[in-house]
A and B are shown apart, each in its own frame.
Chain A
């Protein structure tokens, strides 16, 4: 057994101890996770971005990288009240550019293509099921008209579609969370205790 495996097993048990009640072992493991994650992100950011994207180009005489680097420094202006307004410049740039790039892409991928996927020949039960689902769910989210009469019945069908979606999502969530538990127990019984061959 390696020291790494031993530490990982102890920390896993410390986290599991929360199932009984909150305790100092759980808090210690939680704080370690936060601290290590922050340290890991810092190293990745410096090694993977600042060095190859800022320092190396500067050493090679590419002075244009000074412009984004100044913007990075301005973001740090948020840390004090006096310099906070300066941080709005890079933030505005990020939000503006981000929205400009995202809007046409999302309009195409999430709305236009998805809309066209519902406009299929009604020659199969699946196609009819999808069309009815899209229309009735949209009716459910149309709040300018009271959900009464035939309009209300359509909205109720939409509710059923939503319930099916929530049920499927919850079922998958359970599967996902159990997978995480399996991963940890496999580690404890396999790598740590050597009981799984």
Chain B
């Protein structure tokens, strides 16, 4: 059996990712300015306020979005900020609930009082606009089937007026929708935690101030963990990320060198 030539590239990347996972190297420590600004934004929210976290992603990107959502939930709960979780993407529902449940348990937070999870609602336009009028009308029942109007947290929070910040944890365009409808129509403060692939597209919204904060993928999650001094899954993964980048750079340089060499001959 002869391996195809590309298999060697796969094996090189596999080795580059695996080695630092098994033997941490601690080679990445630079923190991005976006993460610093995002942390400052969360720090500026007074204790007792409410932040809405929307899990707008598919299950396939869980490796990137779970560290982001986890570090955000830890920061919010550690500052006694309350969380309303929801999802505008069906696949994000179970993941969002799992992240919030685990972190709430870690910080001893009570469901219904300190946090709620509303579940999934289709038609994001209608859902985002509807919550500008009444959250309980859009979500009459939460993820667990409880009547939302009877939950203590939602007796105090009616719409975006009582929400200090909306954070969209997204791997696609749904973060735009929060800007288009919640920020533009209701002046809700919106920020985004994104998979790295989406960041370049969202930068114009961040630069114009329509997004008040932005965190960039696994690197952003690792930066955030460093800023909070709570090392977690993201920091552990950044060594593997850096090594994989080095191998990919070498493959690109090697491939180009071989091409030029072949042309010269």
Q: Which residues of A contact B (CB under 8 A)?
A: 19-20, 37, 40-41, 44-45, 47-49, 52-53, 56, 98, 101-102, 105-106, 108-110, 113-114, 116-117, 130, 165, 168-169, 172-186, 189-190, 195-196
Contact = CB atoms under 8 A, between A and B. Distances in A.
B184 interface: yes
Interface stretch (B30-38, B69-77, B191-199): B191-199
A172 B199 contact: yes
B168 interface: no
B21 interface: yes
Nearest to B62: A183
A63 to B, nearest CB: 17
Interface stretch (B48-56, B105-113, B151-159, B202-210): B202-210
Interface stretch (B39-47, B223-231, B239-247, B257-265): B239-247
Given A179-B217, A185-B21, A174 B248 contact: yes
Contact of B241 (A45, A105, A179): A179
Given A179-B63, A179-B64, A117 B241 contact: no
- Secondary structure type dominating chain B contacts: helix
Given A20-B7, A41-B90, A169 B18 contact: no
Contacts of B183: 109
Contacts of A47: 145
Dominant secondary structure of chain A at its interface with chain B: helix
Closest 5 CB pairs of A and B: A183-B63, A117-B208, A176-B197, A176-B196, A175-B196
B125 A102 contact: yes
Contacts of A165: 200
Given A176-B195, A189-B18, A182 B237 contact: yes
B241 A169 contact: no
Q: Output the residue of A44, A48, A168, A189 with the most chain B CB within 10 A.
A: A48
Contact of B237 (A176, A177, A186): A186
B140 A52 contact: yes
5 contacts: A19-B10, A49-B121, A109-B183, A169-B197, A178-B244
A181 B120 contact: no
Contact of B22 (A117, A181, A196): A196
B91 interface: yes
A177 B64 CA distance: 9
Nearest to A41: B90
Contacts of B195: 176, 179
B79 interface: no
Given A175-B218, A182-B218, A168 B200 contact: yes
Contacts of A185: 14, 17-18, 21, 240
Contacts of B93: 44, 48
Contacts of B233: 186
A114 B218 CA distance: 27
Interface in B125-149: 125, 129, 140-141, 145
Contacts of B208: 113-114, 116-117
A105 B185 contact: yes
A78 B244 CA distance: 48
B177 to A, nearest CB: 9
Contacts of A48: 93, 119-121
B13 interface: yes
A109 B180 contact: yes
Given A165-B200, A175-B219, A175-B245, A180 B63 contact: yes
A45 B122 CA distance: 8
Contact of B17 (A108, A114, A176, A181): A181
A180 B17 contact: no
A184 B122 contact: no
Contacts of B62: 183
Chain B CB count within 10 A is highest, among A37, A172, A186, A189, for A172
Nearest to B143: A48
Contacts of A172: 196-200, 216-217
Nearest to B247: A178
A175 B179 CA distance: 25
